[in-house]
Amino acid sequence: MDQPPPSVDACTRGSLDNWALNATVTMSSTDVNSTLKLGVNDNLNLTNCPATQTTANPLVRVDMNATRQVDKVFLLFPSDIAINRLEIYVGEDGGNNRAINHLCTSIQSVTNPWTVASCTQPMNGRYVFLRLQENATTIKICRIYIYSTCLTTSCSNVALSRPAYQSSLSSRGIASLAVDGNRNSNYFQRSCTHTKKKNDPWWYVDLQRLRVVQKVLVTNRKDCCVNRLNGMEVWIGIDNIPTFSNALNTRCGVIPTVGGGETVTVNCSANTVGQYVIIRIPGRNKTLTLCEVEVYEACTRQPRCVNSGCKRGKNANVALGRPTRQSSNFNSISVSANAVDVN
Ligand code: CA
C-alpha cells in the first residue's frame, strides 16, 4: 500500500537552511579517512575532496537527522573529475532501497563543477543519496547543499536587506547602505557606502544561502568622485574571506568605466553559484563607494512563496509543490502534481 509521505513544513526552521550543514555524510567506501562535513564552509582545498573507492554504483549518503522536504541539491565537484549517470534519491530508507526512496532527478553527464539538481517535484525524506549508475567508477565531491521547497528561485532582488560587509568605513557610509533598496546616488542622502582610501578595497553581501546568480546591478555615486568605481570587479562564491584568487569564488565581470549615477548590469556566465557577492577595486589607494547593489537569479515568475512571502507566511500559496495524490490517473501525464505546479 502506498503510504502518504509524512507531513513536513519545509519552512519550520527558517527558510534559509541548508539541510546538509549539520548532516552526517557517509560514503559506500572511502579512499580517504575523513569525516565528511560537506555542507560546512570551512577552508576546503578543492584538490583534496573526499572520494569513494572505484566500485560499481558508488553511493554518498546524507543523513539530515530528520525528515525534510527537499527541492534543490547543489553539488560542487572537483573540476578534474568526470561524473556520469548521476542519480539523486530522497527518502526514508537509509540503505537507499530504490523501491522506497524517490528519484529526485538523474543527470547524464556533469559538465560544470557546480551542479544544481532540482527534484522533479518536492520530495520528503530524511536521507539524500548520490548514486552513480556505473559499473566501475568513483564519486569525488567537495560540497553538498540541500534546500527545501519554500525558497525556490526568486525573481526579486535577493541581496535586499541581507548582511553586508566592507574592508573599512569612512564618512558614515556603512556597508548596508548598498542593500537598502534605494539607488539614490547623492552621497549626502545617506544611501551609499564608503570605505577608506586604501589598497584593494572590497564590499560583500551575504545572500544567506546559495543562489545561481544571473546578474548584478551596481549603482554609482553621482555628486562627486564618479571615476572611483572604474575597474570594479564582481565576484560570486562560497568563500566569504575576499581573497579573490580563491578557487571557491568566480569572477562574474569587470567594469572598466561607470558613469556618475549610472546603474550598470554585470551579467554572469551560466552556473555562477554562490552565497557571497563581492565587489572590489584592485589597486593602490582606492576608495569604494556603492549606492546600491542588486542581485538577481534567472527566474520564471511564480507565486510569491519566495523570500519574505515564505518567511513571514504571507502571500504564499502553501499548496505550491506539496505532495499530492489522487484516486487514479487518466493517463501517464494526468498526474495529481499537475494541480500544484504553478501553471
Ligand atoms: Ca542604497
Over the stretch 120-138, which tens digit does the pLDDT of each residue have?
A: 888 999 999 999 999 999 9
Average pLDDT, the chain: 83
Residue 322: is its pLDDT beyond 80?
no
178 CA → ligand 1 middle, Å:
4
Among 114-118, 197-201, 331-335, the minimum mean pLDDT is found in 331-335
Owner of C-alpha cell 564582481: 234
290 CA → ligand 1 middle, Å:
7
Answer yes or no: do 146 and 253 share one domain: no
183 CA → ligand 1 middle, Å:
5
Residue 308: is its pLDDT beyond 70?
no
- If one compares 36 and 326, the residue with the highest pLDDT of the two is 326
Q: Which residues contact 328 (CB under 8 A, 6 or more apart)?
A: none
Task: Measure the CA dihedral 225/228/229/233, to 10°.
Answer: -170
157 CA → ligand 1 middle, Å:
13
pLDDT at 326: 81
Owner of C-alpha cell 539530515: 64
Confidence band, pLDDT 50/70/90 cuts, at residue 320: low
274 CA → ligand 1 middle, Å:
22
Answer yes or no: do 48 and 147 share one domain: yes
pLDDT at 46: 65
Query: What are 182's three cell numbers?
Result: 534605494
The answer to whether position 336 is within a domain reads no
15 CA → ligand 1 middle, Å:
25
Answer yes or no: do 125 and 32 share one domain: yes
Instruction: Answer whether 238's CB lies under 8 Å from 219's CB.
Output: no
- Coil, strand, or helix at residue 228? helix
Q: How many CB atoms lie within 10 A of CB 42?
A: 6
66 CA → ligand 1 middle, Å:
40
160 CA → ligand 1 middle, Å:
10
pLDDT at 256: 96
Confidence band, pLDDT 50/70/90 cuts, at residue 3: very low
pLDDT at 296: 94
Of 151, 176, 207, the residue at which a domain comes to its end is 151
224 CA → ligand 1 middle, Å:
16
Give the C-alpha separation, 234 to 164, whole Å: 15
273 CA → ligand 1 middle, Å:
24
205 CA → ligand 1 middle, Å:
13
204 CA → ligand 1 middle, Å:
14
Residue 4: is its pLDDT beyond 50?
no
pLDDT at 150: 55
Question: β-strand 83-91 against 114-132: which pairing, if any?
Answer: antiparallel
Query: What are 8's three cell numbers?
Result: 513536513
227 CA → ligand 1 middle, Å:
18
Task: Measure the CA dihedral 10/11/12/14, to 10°.
Answer: 140
Answer yes or no: do 178 and 87 share one domain: no
Residue 250, CA atoms < 13 Å, CB-side half-sphere:
17
Of 106, 121, 151, the residue at which a domain comes to its end is 151
Neighbours of ion ligand 1 (CB under 5 A): 177, 180, 182, 191, 292
pLDDT at 163: 96
The answer to whether position 235 is within a domain reads yes
Answer yes or no: do 194 and 173 share one domain: yes
Answer yes or no: do 116 and 217 share one domain: no
219 CA → ligand 1 middle, Å:
8
113 CA → ligand 1 middle, Å:
34
Average pLDDT over residues 95-108: 95
What separation in angstroms does the CA of 164 have from each of 75, 87, 160, 183, 302? Answer: 25, 37, 10, 16, 27
Q: What is the DSSP string of 205-220?
A: EEEEEEEEEEEEEEE-
Residue 1: is its pLDDT beyond 80?
no
Domain hosting 58: range is: 24-151
Domain count, the chain: 2
CATH code: domain of residue 112: 2.60.120.260
The answer to whether position 256 is within a domain reads yes
39 CA → ligand 1 middle, Å:
32
Give the C-alpha separation, 238 to 279, whole Å: 14
The answer to whether position 320 is within a domain reads no
The answer to whether position 193 is within a domain reads yes
236 CA → ligand 1 middle, Å:
20
Average pLDDT over residues 146-170: 85
245 CA → ligand 1 middle, Å:
28
pLDDT at 12: 43
User: What is Dmax (Cα atoms) for the chain?
Assistant: 71
62 CA → ligand 1 middle, Å:
40
Q: Where are the alpha helices (DSSP H) in the chain?
A: 308-312
- If one compares 255 and 43, the residue with the highest pLDDT of the two is 255
Answer yes or no: do 124 and 188 share one domain: no
pLDDT (tens digit, 9 = 90+) per residue, 34-85? 555 555 545 456 667 888 889 999 999 999 999 988 988 999 888 777 899 9
Answer yes or no: do 145 and 187 share one domain: no
Give the C-alpha separation, 106 to 156, whole Å: 29
Answer yes or no: do 86 and 30 share one domain: yes
Q: Residue 232's closest CA among 163, 171, 290, 292? A: 290
Answer yes or no: do 138 and 243 share one domain: no
